[in-house]
Amino acid sequence: MKNNDTIKVIVSGGGTGGHIFPAIAIANGIRDRYPNSDILFIGANGRMEMEKVPKAGYKIIGLNVQGLSRKSMLKNIPILVKFFLSMKKAKKIIKNFKPDFVVGVGGYASGAVLKAAVSQHIPAIIQEQNSFPGKTNIMLSKNVDAICVAYSGLEKYFPKEKIVMTGNPIRKEFLNITPKADEAFEYFGIKDRSKPVVLIVGGSQGALAINNAIAKDLQKYVDAGCFVIWQVGKTYLPTAKEQLNDNYGDSVWCSDFIYRMDLAYSVADMVISRAGAIAISELCAVGLPAILIPLPTAAENHQMKNAQALADKGAALIVENDKAEQELSNVAISLLNDGEKLQSLGTNIKKLAITDAVDRILNIIETKILNK
């Protein structure tokens, strides 16, 4: 397989930024290495990939698929019907598009597409971001060609011979962050460049506990001389706007979503974040001091495990979700005032970065599929 050859690829998955952004990073890597590649995304209708993927420059087709209900078996009957209809549609898409291989990154659509692909003997790989994999990936793991992972110990769930440690793919723009870039100050409207910048991200859809803690204490950050960049998610945005109401002058930038996260990272002195796998991979790559608030309802409490792995290496601080309103802002402001601690956290988290995950994944694709 030569770099100027045309290859056709289907990338499937989404639901949250934790699935979508790795998918886009892999697609960008394929396009860079094979400029003549034809890449098609398949996602779930009504989910954020239907907006974010076209903005990244790729075609996407939506399936009417959703996750199973854990509370009511009766509710799962129409959901299962949707899944089988989605799989039927996915088979038709695959038959018409004729991909050389399929990449599944998790999310509602990924299961239907991977299942359809392997049933038609199309080569496929799974990219599993988390330390605790989803049930769909576990079920499909025996039939795919390779499983690219970011955490050790996954042989409990996947066939050992198919697991490859690659790390999580992150977008190329995070690999060469220019600290305190002029463009970033302009983008966020930061007039006083001497202010420390606190970046707050509760995941692509926001995080209620984090948002409530920040809303309660915004004045503390302003009084401490900070500039706050606050991603709140769509649901919380009306509340945040009401809270702000021009009360904080030139000290707060607030939006439902940050499209130029590279600029946010470049200007931030500290990050407050959930402890999702992709968020942590990005923080390691950019080497920013972080306070992590793990999502307590994450499967097998894997966000706490992610955060603890960093904290044990002196690479992040942890504030528990149910203590965020009482403790988060005091911990954050105290950290901002401790230059030595900030530097230590930044240095230690940078040591944990895997910055060539996309290349590792593409090498696996070439070895196990394209050059077979």
Q: Convert the pLDDT of each residue in 135-171 to its tens digit.
A: 888 989 999 999 999 988 899 999 999 999 999 999 8
| Cα separations in angstroms, 175 against 22, 148, 172, 255, 354 | 14, 20, 6, 24, 10
Please determine, for residue 274, whether its predicted confidence score (pLDDT) is greater than 70. yes
Q: Convert the pLDDT of each residue in 173-194 to its tens digit.
A: 888 888 778 899 999 999 999 9
| Cα separations in angstroms, 270 against 12, 137, 155, 242, 287 | 33, 34, 35, 25, 10
d(C-alpha 221, C-alpha 328), whole Å = 11
**Cβ-contact 227, 218 below 8 angstroms:** no
Question: Between 43 and 80, where is the model more confident?
Answer: 43
pLDDT the model gives residue 280: 94
144 torsion bin: left (phi>0), alpha (psi -120 to 50), beta (else): beta
Please determine, for residue 229, whether its predicted confidence score (pLDDT) is greater than 80. yes
**Cβ-contact 339, 6 below 8 angstroms:** no
* Domain spanning 8-169+355-370: CATH superfamily: Glycogen Phosphorylase B; (3.40.50.2000)
pLDDT the model gives residue 38: 96
Q: 132 is written with which tokens?
A: 């605790």
d(C-alpha 362, C-alpha 255), whole Å = 34
pLDDT the model gives residue 196: 95
Q: Convert the pLDDT of each residue in 54-102 to its tens digit.
A: 999 999 999 987 765 566 666 667 777 888 888 899 999 999 999 999 9
Lowest mean pLDDT across 20-34, 75-89, 332-346: 75-89
pLDDT the model gives residue 17: 80
Type and span of the H or E element at 222: helix 208-223
pLDDT the model gives residue 176: 83
Q: Which CATH architecture has domain 173-350?
A: 3-Layer(aba) Sandwich (3.40)
Please determine, for residue 301, whether its predicted confidence score (pLDDT) is greater than 90. no
Whole-angstrom Cα Rg for the chain: 21
The ranges of the chain annotated as CATH 3.40.50.2000 are 8-169+355-370, 173-350
Please determine, for residue 4, whether its predicted confidence score (pLDDT) is greater than 80. no
pLDDT the model gives residue 64: 87
